[in-house]
């Protein structure tokens, strides 16, 4: 079976709750069959609204959503056959784990034997075999979460939506659940649309990430591309750590440009700037700037150390560099002894390719 490229399709979708503000603006998004797509964004960016429209709990104000080429705006939620995992699990507290899992099967009038088999299979998939007779209240948060995942998958939906499912778990559990959900996705190949505001979660789990802000998809690409090649300053800022310089283009040629700052000048990689005189924000990842670089780099600056924070595996160093006193460096904890002390002046170098000149903030 060949994978359908636009299995889920948002086509020019707008959404407004009050007729005054658009929460989602002209959303176009194609999701491939079997893909794990994450909608990532700050709260209020419209990502959950998109998920709710796909699930059928909200209707698009304009535009259409297609599921396997069929428009679904007029189909009520219970006929869409989309599984959903809710933020607070939404397990039915008056039913046992078994009854919770059997619920979607019973409403589909599946025979008792098949229900038993499917529930057992789903429980073993989330390694909770033998928990069928427990009440949800007797389970830990992580176990409840796994039951919720099993329940969303037990009736073999074509798409599963997850609305910040790991938000209520503690850090360690959240990480192990991330891998568990990823493995379940890989083993059964269901299409997953995942909503989160946690970028770490998004980067670990997804095939592709749609970064939302202000009701729009800012960038839709694979995790590595998103991190390495953000297309605008919002994405650069939102994903990972980021050092920025605001300035003006003074020269642009052959895939590189000169940016004039208040103090000094740097060479950068023009991404969303085209002509001299444009305002820009230059973004450099902390790990791309090196201390006392051995190789020749086309940007070399001196900075003064203002703060040193020990993090175990690395040390964070805050510098004052070219008038930016928030310039962060991450120095790996290696045997190499660098002279990192408060107040010292050090040499910093980076390649112009890694300094991306993006839209001004």
Partner 1 sequence: MSSEQKILSTDGIPLEESLKQAEKKNKIKAFLLVTPLLLFLIITYIIPIADMFSRSIDDKMVTNMLPKTYKAMEQWDGKELPSEEVFKAFYLDYKILVENKTAGKLQTQLNYEKNGFKSVLKKLARKQKKFEEGNYKEQIMKVHKRWRNVDYWRAIKRRAPSYTYSKYLKGVDMYSNEEGKIIQVAENRRIHRILWSRTLEVAFFVTFFCFLMAYPIAHLLATLPMKYSNLLMICVLLPFWTSLLVRTASWMILLQQQGLVNDFFVWIGLVTNDNRPEMMYNKTGTYVAMTQILLPFMVLPLYSVMKTISPSLMRAGKSLGATPGVAFFKIYFPLTIPGIGAGCLLVFILAIGYYITPALVGGASGTLISNQIAYHMKSTLDWSFASAMGLMLLTGVLVIYWIYNKLVGVDNIKLG
Is position 349 an interface residue for partner 1 (rule: CB under 8 A)?
A: no
Closer of 68 and 306 to partner 1 (Cβ): 68
Q: Distance between CA 45 and CA 43 in Å, rounded?
A: 5
CA–CA dist 198, 174 (Å, integer): 11
- Binder among 50, 55, 203, 266 for partner 1 (CB under 8 A): 55
Taking CB under 8 A as the criterion, the residue among 104, 165, 215, 349 binding partner 1 is 104
- Number of residues this chain uses to bind partner 1 (CB under 8 A): 28
Question: Can residue 103 be called a binding residue for partner 1 (CB under 8 A)?
Answer: yes
State the CB neighbour count (10 A cutoff) for residue 2: 5
Q: Of the candidates 71, 93, 130, 189, which one interacts with partner 1 according to CB under 8 A? A: 93
Question: C-beta of 62: minimal distance to partner 1 in Å?
Answer: 23
Point out which span in 2-10, 53-61, 164-172, 233-241 binds partner 1 (CB under 8 A): 53-61
Six-digit token string for 192: 């997953």
Which parts of 199-238 interact with partner 1 (CB under 8 A)? none
Q: Which two tokens stand for residue 215?
A: 């009701």
128 contacts 181 by C-beta, under 8 angstroms: no
| Residue 165 touching partner 1 (CB under 8 A) | no
Cβ-based neighbour number of residue 1 at 10 Å: 5
**Closer residue to partner 1, CB minimum distance, 7 or 155:** 155
Edge-to-edge strands, sheet with 299-310: 290-291, 345-350, 299-310, 314-321, 324-332
Question: Whose Cβ is closer to partner 1: residue 66's or residue 86's?
Answer: 86
CA–CA separation, 190 vs 70, rounded Å?
18
**Residue 293 interacting with partner 1 (CB under 8 A):** no
Nearer of residues 66 and 103 to partner 1, judged by Cβ: 103
Report 119-158 residues binding partner 1 (CB under 8 A). Answer: 151-152, 155
Structure tokens at 69: 């080429």
In the complex, minimum distance from the CB of residue 56 to partner 1, in angstroms, rounded to a whole number? 8
State in angstroms the smallest separation of the CB of 82 from partner 1.
6
- Classify strands 36-40 and 208-213 as parallel, antiparallel or unpaired: parallel
Per-residue string for binding with partner 1, 63-92, x by CB under 8 A?
-------------xxxxxxxxx-xxx-xxx
Q: Quick one: DSSP state of residue 45?
A: S
Among 28, 71, 107, 302, binds partner 1 (CB under 8 A): 107
On the CB side of 150, how many CA atoms lie within 13 Å of its CA? 28
**β-strand partners of 62:** 14
Element spanning 331, H or E: strand 324-332
At closest approach, how far in Å is the CB of 39 from partner 1? Answer: 17
Q: Identify the CA nearest to 282 among candidates 263, 301, 298, 259.
A: 259
Confirm or reject binding of residue 56 to partner 1 (CB under 8 A): yes
For residue 79, the 8-state DSSP code is G
Task: Give me the residues that bind partner 1 (CB under 8 A), please.
Answer: 55-57, 76-84, 86-88, 90-94, 103-104, 107-108, 151-152, 155, 161
């Amino acid at each position: 079976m060949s994978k359908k490229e636009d299995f889920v399709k948002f086509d020019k979708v707008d959404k407004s709750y009050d007729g005054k503000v658009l929460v989602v603006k002209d959303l176009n998004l194609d999701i491939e069959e079997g893909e794990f797509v994450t909608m990532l964004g700050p709260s209020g960016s419209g990502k959950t609204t998109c998920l709710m429209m796909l699930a059928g709990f909200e209707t698009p104000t304009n535009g259409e959503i297609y599921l396997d080429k069929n428009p679904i705006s007029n189909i009520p939620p219970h006929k869409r056959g989309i599984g959903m995992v809710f933020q607070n699990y939404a397990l039915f507290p008056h039913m046992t784990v078994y009854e919770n899992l059997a619920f979607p099967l019973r409403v589909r009038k599946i025979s008792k034997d098949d229900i038993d088999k499917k529930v057992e299979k789903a429980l073993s998939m989330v390694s909770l075999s033998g928990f069928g007779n427990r009440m949800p209240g007797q389970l830990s948060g992580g176990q409840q979460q796994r039951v919720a995942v099993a329940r969303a998958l037990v009736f073999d939906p074509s798409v599963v939506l997850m609305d910040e499912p790991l938000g209520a778990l503690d850090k360690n559990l959240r990480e192990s659940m991330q891998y568990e959900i990823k493995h379940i996705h890989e083993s059964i190949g269901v299409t997953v649309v995942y909503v989160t505001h946690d970028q770490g979660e998004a980067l670990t789990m997804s095939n592709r990430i749609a970064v939302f802000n202000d009701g729009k998809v800012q960038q839709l690409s694979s995790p590595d591309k998103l991190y390495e090649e953000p297309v605008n300053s919002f994405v650069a800022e939102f994903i990972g750590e980021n050092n920025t310089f605001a300035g003006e283009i003074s020269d642009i040629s052959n895939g590189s440009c000169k940016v004039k700052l208040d103090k000094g000048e740097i060479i950068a990689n023009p991404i969303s700037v085209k002509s001299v005189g444009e305002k820009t924000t230059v973004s450099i990842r902390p790990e791309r700037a090196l201390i006392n670089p051995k190789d020749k780099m086309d940007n070399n600056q001196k900075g003064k150390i203002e703060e040193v924070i020990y993090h175990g595996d690395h040390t964070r160093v805050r510098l004052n560099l070219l008038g930016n006193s928030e310039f962060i460096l991450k120095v790996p904890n290696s045997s190499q002894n660098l002279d990192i002390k408060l107040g010292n002046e050090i040499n910093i170098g980076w390649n112009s390719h890694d300094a991306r000149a993006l839209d001004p903030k």
